[in-house]
Structure 1
Amino acid sequence: MKLWKGRFQKEADPKTNDFNSSISIDSRMYREDIEGSIAHASMLGECGIIEQSESEKICAGLRQIREELESGALTIDPDAEDIHTFIEGELTARIGDAGKRLHTARSRNDQVALDVRLTLRGEFAGLKEQLKSLIRVLCGKAEQYSEAVMPGYTHLQRAQPITFGHHMMAYAEMLLRDLSRFDDALARMDVMPLGSGALAGTTYPLDRELTAKLLGFSKVSQNSLDGVSDRDFCAEIAFAVSMAMVHLSRLCEELVLWCSWEYKFIELDDAFSTGSSIMPQKKNPDIAELIRGKSGRVFGDLMGLLTMMKGLPLAYNKDMQEDKEAVFDAVDTLKLCLTPLIPMLQTMTVLEDTMRNAAARGFINATDCADYLVAEKGLPFRDAYKITGELVALCIAKGLTLETLPLEEYQKICDSFDEGVYQAISLEKCVGGRRVLGGPAPENVRFQARRVLELVGKE
């Protein structure tokens, strides 16, 4: 059934039908389409626009269709133009003329704008719970390894000592911001567009606030052109998802590095690793690599949405049919990535001794050595910086570390050194002394983890 066929004298070419069809993408919105139609029909009955008995008949028919679709007793016709046409046609076939009244004071334009909002609202509820689960895992690891010293890096060069727990909490903070971006995007999407019609509203005396209330929206759209042509919310959600994928990709990049033999800071569980078809020794972090790769797919979805919208005149244009595939793919991909990532992190083994040894070999306590000369011996920082640089060069030449360099070698470069330098450059003291808010001291990390757990709630 074509809702628009009355204007045409001949059937559309089959290739036109195939190209025009969106049923393969929008069929996932059948629950939301039915939910929106029930609310619309209820409002039409309450306002006396259609008979109350017809409204009730429509709603009962729609509920039956939903039940049968969910049970599998009814299947969606893949040849239908879209899910809206399929449901309306099925309803009319069942209840007759009353079904033809459902579309009173409604266009597919505002109907689609509603369905996409309802679908994304539902999808995001589950997505946010997945993100919270990941944050909980990160917080658990942070508390467990709040004292596990590791090198912190800049430019992929060992820089200063931190802890594995501190590193985990950095990602927890990023994901907290992702959650807030999701909430912001959902708040701006919380606008009910039904009543906008095709573009110019309707002459029927609709109660749009009632429809919004029935569907759980806090606001109604204030401009009918905007109501049907707005896809800001799709782009904004795709951006929020893209930003989350940036964070997952960065985390996965580090997991790939850390489980290599060159680092060996962690080992992934066998259940979340794969092997090689030719090299029997291999244990590959394919899950992390795939997540890293799929980030590009999501960025493409965002770029596709922005490019699609950038040159469209108001109001609706068929280009906008492309919105659903892009935004749904972005959401689905993030969900897909979170599903194995959460248990992969939960089950990974952290190799504390390897991390501690790497920290000891990297001169990452050099800043603390300079700070010792400043705080304990009163030297200007720039002089202390130069002296420490000379010590590092000496250690490299002798194959030693600052911790193993003899005191007499220290004193050859600066006679202000005494035995206290070894306490000052202890890696554990270097980390433990960084108690400034946000720093890696173990008690700070544990406090950060507890704070974040309170924000996301325990399972």
Structure 2
Amino acid sequence: MKMWAGRFAVETDALVNDFNSSIPFDCRLYPYDIQGSLAHSQMLCDQGILSKEDKDAIHGGLNELLEEMNAGKIAFTPQYEDIHMCVEELLTKKIGDAGKRLHTGRSRNDQVALDMRLYTRDQIGIIHEKVRRFLKVLVDLSKNNLETIMPGYTHLQRAQPITFAHVMMAYANMLKRDVIRLENTYDLMNESPLGCGALATTTYPIDRNATAQMLAFKQPCDNSLDGVSDRDYCVELASDLSILMMHLSRLSEEVIAWCSWEFKFIELSDAFATGSSIMPQKKNPDICELVRGKTGRVYGDLNTLLVMLKGIPLAYNKDMQEDKEALFDAIDTVNMCLDVLVPMFQTMRLYKGNMLKAAQQGFLNATDCADYLTKKGLPFRDAYKISGSMVAWCIENKKTLNELTLEQFQSFHPLFEADVYEAIDLLQCVQARQVHGGPGKASVQKQIQAIEQFLESREADA
């Protein structure tokens, strides 16, 4: 019999039972449902609403249920409408009438809102730690490749020389912002909806501050209507995860290109690549392609939440049951991607010679050649035109700028002197860019230090 069956004269249709039930997916909330019930029953006892004997029986029964559920001894079958009814029914069977008193002063509306916040808060912490772990991998790669010259691209055309360390730190800064976004979401959502009731609290003298403190929330939600109907944190986390996945997808796209024979800048470990069923020479970066594909999946989860919520009046509506599968899927997808990307990056091999060769062949020092003339007193636009003419001549004659004789340099302009060769040396071109944020070794070392300090501050707070 349903917990709410008193109002109804006819049994619920089996199809409606299946359609209405959320137990197949909200069963993962069982630890949080029990955690919230332990706090709620303790508060009821402290307030004199529940006897100590009933509280002790409830706590004993809930802890037994938690052990049984953790051990996989309980089947979450469709006979239970949701995880909340499942826990309550099993508890009542286990301890009798005391179990029926657990729900005093609360509703499933504030119960599910609490469970989702507790679950989401934990998941933010897990993802936060995994992103920081990935950040550490990027820092290590940067430290080991401060002088690994490679082409920097705009429009997928070779543009200027940079280092592999500089590229890794670009993605490190993206992930740093992802960490901060997760922290902001955690801070905003860390308020307790327990005690909001169905929408208008309760006539019992409950202590919402006490349960908020027991459950490590900053405070109770200030408005009971908002407390049971707020799913902003679900949308915000899905947005955070979508941006994080966008960053992972962009990085994956780089790796996909770099693994190709056209680039051959890196090679993935055999443990993190796949082959072809028909072409024996193939080594495919399937992990990166899946990350790129799963990014769209997380975007879809965000859109599901936004569309689900956009037309709902206060307070709780059954539509809001749809928050769980979308958020669970986004969280599961991000966790899976981070779990596999970290060891993939730790084990990949860099072909530094190929990176350098690509940088040498792309006239990436043409800007530095123009800057050389500008520093000698020529207006930049004139220097730019001369440098462009030199590139055109080199292309026609199958040469690089570094291969020109001093006489050939001076045929384009007399300001060229022997020191031009140092000025257009690729490593020198990179190292000369010591402006804050630039690819020069000292500059990238400062970027690494900033990320390390950021990580250390998070370790201290953990």
Whether TM-score is above 0.5 comes out as yes
Q: C-alpha distance in 2, partners of 1:417/1:72?
A: 78
Q: C-alpha distance in 2, partners of 1:248/1:130?
A: 13
Verify the 8 A CA contact 1:139 1:450 in the aligned structure 2: no
Task: Kindly provide the CA deviation profile for residues 303-340 of structure 1, in whole angstroms up to 9, marking residues without a partner as x.
Answer: 00000000111111100000011111101100000111
1:270 is aligned to 2:305: no
Indicate the residue corresponding to 1:83 in structure 2. 83
> Alignment RMSD, CA only?
1.1
Indicate the residue corresponding to 1:47 in structure 2. 47
Q: C-alpha distance in 2, partners of 1:166/1:287?
A: 24
1:426 is aligned to 2:414: no
Q: C-alpha distance in 2, partners of 1:199/1:340?
A: 43
**One-letter code of the match for 2:29?**
M
Secondary structure of 1:282's aligned partner: coil
Q: C-alpha distance in 2, partners of 1:158/1:76?
A: 57
Matches within 5 A, 1:257-406: 257-375=257-375, 377-406=376-405
Indicate the residue corresponding to 1:72 in structure 2. 72
Verify the 8 A CA contact 1:140 1:449 in the aligned structure 2: no
Q: C-alpha distance in 1, partners of 2:49/2:290?
A: 54
Shift of 1:60: 1.4
Secondary structure of 2:401's aligned partner: coil
Shift of 1:57: 1.4
Q: Mind listing any 5+ residue stretches in structure 1 that lack a counterpart?
A: none
Q: C-alpha distance in 1, partners of 2:417/2:443?
A: 30
Task: Kindly provide the CA deviation profile for residues 66-125 of structure 1, in whole angstroms up to 9, marking residues without a partner as x.
Answer: 011112333333431110000000011111111001111111000000000001111222
Verify the 8 A CA contact 2:363 2:391 in the aligned structure 1: yes
Indicate the residue corresponding to 2:153 in structure 1. 153
Indicate the residue corresponding to 2:190 in structure 1. 190
Task: Kindly provide the CA deviation profile for residues 220-263 of structure 1, in whole angstroms up to 9, marking residues without a partner as x.
Answer: 11111101110000000000011000000000000000000000
Secondary structure of 2:403's aligned partner: coil
Q: C-alpha distance in 2, partners of 1:68/1:48?
A: 30
Verify the 8 A CA contact 2:106 2:195 in the aligned structure 1: yes
Q: C-alpha distance in 2, partners of 1:121/1:223?
A: 20
Verify the 8 A CA contact 1:365 1:430 in the aligned structure 2: yes
Secondary structure of 1:403's aligned partner: helix
Indicate the residue corresponding to 1:16 in structure 2. 16
Q: C-alpha distance in 2, partners of 1:182/1:327?
A: 14
Indicate the residue corresponding to 1:229 in structure 2. 229
Q: Alignment length, in residue pairs?
A: 458
Q: C-alpha distance in 2, partners of 1:124/1:233?
A: 11
Secondary structure of 2:151's aligned partner: strand
Q: C-alpha distance in 2, partners of 1:368/1:410?
A: 14
Secondary structure of 2:147's aligned partner: coil
Q: 392-401 or 121-130: which moved more?
A: 121-130
Verify the 8 A CA contact 2:24 2:77 in the aligned structure 1: no
Indicate the residue corresponding to 2:177 in structure 1. 177
Verify the 8 A CA contact 2:298 2:329 in the aligned structure 1: yes
Q: C-alpha distance in 2, partners of 1:436/1:97?
A: 72
Q: What stretches of structure 1 move > 3 A for 4+ residues in a row?
A: none
Indicate the residue corresponding to 1:133 in structure 2. 133
Verify the 8 A CA contact 2:18 2:78 in the aligned structure 1: no
Give the alignment's TM-score, normalised by structure 1: 0.98
Shift of 1:126: 1.6
Q: C-alpha distance in 1, partners of 2:82/2:61?
A: 19
Task: Kindly provide the CA deviation profile for residues 318-371 of structure 1, in whole angstroms up to 9, marking residues without a partner as x.
Answer: 000000111111011000001111010000001100000000111111111111
Q: Mind listing any 5+ residue stretches in structure 2 that lack a counterpart?
A: none
1:26 is aligned to 2:19: no
Q: 402-411 or 233-242: which moved more?
A: 402-411
Q: C-alpha distance in 1, partners of 2:351/2:239?
A: 36
Q: C-alpha distance in 1, partners of 2:48/2:76?
A: 32
Task: Kindly provide the CA deviation profile for residues 30-78 of structure 1, in whole angstroms up to 9, marking residues without a partner as x.
Answer: 0000000000000001001121221221111111110111123333334
